[in-house]
Amino acid sequence: MKLSHLVVGLTLAFGFVAGAAAQTTMKINISTAQNSHQGVAIDVFAKEVEKRTNGRYKIQTFYQGSLGAERESIEAVQLGTQELTFTSTGPVPNFVPETKILDVPFLFRDKAHARAVLDGPIGQEMLTKFDSKGIKALAWAENGFRHMTNSKRDVKVPEDLKGLKMRTMENPVHIAAYKGFGIVPTPMAFTEVFTALQQGTVDGQENPLSVIISAKLDQVQKHLTLTGHVYSPCLFLMNKAAFDKLSPADKQAFVAAAKEGTKANRARVDEDDAKGVADLRAKGMTVIDNIDKAKFVAALAPVNAEFEKQFGKANLEKIRNYK
């Protein structure tokens, strides 16, 4: 009797060991706080991957740049030292130049237009451009429309931007556009922004409301203008070799999990946009929410002529007119 107990016990023990060994752990990170539109994205993704692979894959989540800033994280995914990351497209053109076009100011009418472009043939074809760079792009998600904040003055017309030293993403299209406004662009990783604003190294920055709120930028910025000058996507990225090793069913599971993460992420952006202005006003920011957008578009006419040369007018129109 005792021997059979022992055999059963050993069998169970070995079963547990085999079960435990079969679980693969992967890491994913963001540069914002867990309580943010990006945090929601990776938390839902992690839960969905585990559920859809019956616990064979476990995703560890890291926040606030604890595994490195966005550009470093994309490099780590490309090299295979990290399996996954969730990033804004800020530094992405340095890896996949074809994505640059999405950063052209005033390209998208609204969130519905931007989401339709990314979820449709234009965006889906662009995801395939990552493959040759050692990266598998699982899905588009969202940062939101970017707005400008600063510690110096209210910005009501484009002229008010002249001479402001603004932190920008490490993104050549943004830098060219902000120079067109007369801004002094200062590229830096998001993980350094709060301190730079606090110390006055830069006067301002630009980000979607979701980021401004989750990063508590109201503590170091007084003036917010809803310029909505650039739509900022996000991406779920995975090391291509790690993705290729997955079974066909698991590949599907990872892509489906990323799509679920995107749903949750976009819903949170909508929520932040709906309540963000009142929230930031309550925290003492002055918010200019009724600018004449046509003036800002007109101020960028010379830069836009350059973008038409760079990207091709037809390519820009294809996105602008997408229904």
Task: Measure the CA angle with vertex 136, ends 176 and 229; round to 5°.
Answer: 25
**pLDDT tens digits, the chain, 323 residues: what are they?**
555 555 445 545 454 444 444 799 999 999 999 999 999 999 999 999 999 999 999 999 999 999 999 999 999 999 999 999 999 999 999 999 999 999 999 999 999 999 999 999 999 999 999 999 999 999 999 999 999 999 999 999 999 999 999 999 888 899 999 999 999 999 999 999 999 999 999 999 999 999 999 999 999 999 999 999 999 999 999 999 999 999 999 999 999 999 999 999 999 999 999 999 999 999 999 999 999 999 999 999 999 999 999 999 999 999 999 99
Residue 23: name the closest of 54, 2, 1 by CA. Answer: 54
Domains along the chain with CATH numbers: 2-320 (3.40.190.170)
Coil/strand/helix, residue 80? coil
At 164-208, the pLDDT tens digits run 999 998 888 999 999 999 999 999 999 999 999 999 999 999 999
Q: Measured between alpha carbons, how far is 87 from 160 in angstroms, rounded to an integer?
A: 31
Q: Measured between alpha carbons, how far is 230 from 323 in angstroms, rounded to an integer?
A: 19
Beta strands in 151-252 (DSSP E): 165-168, 184-187, 204-207, 223-239
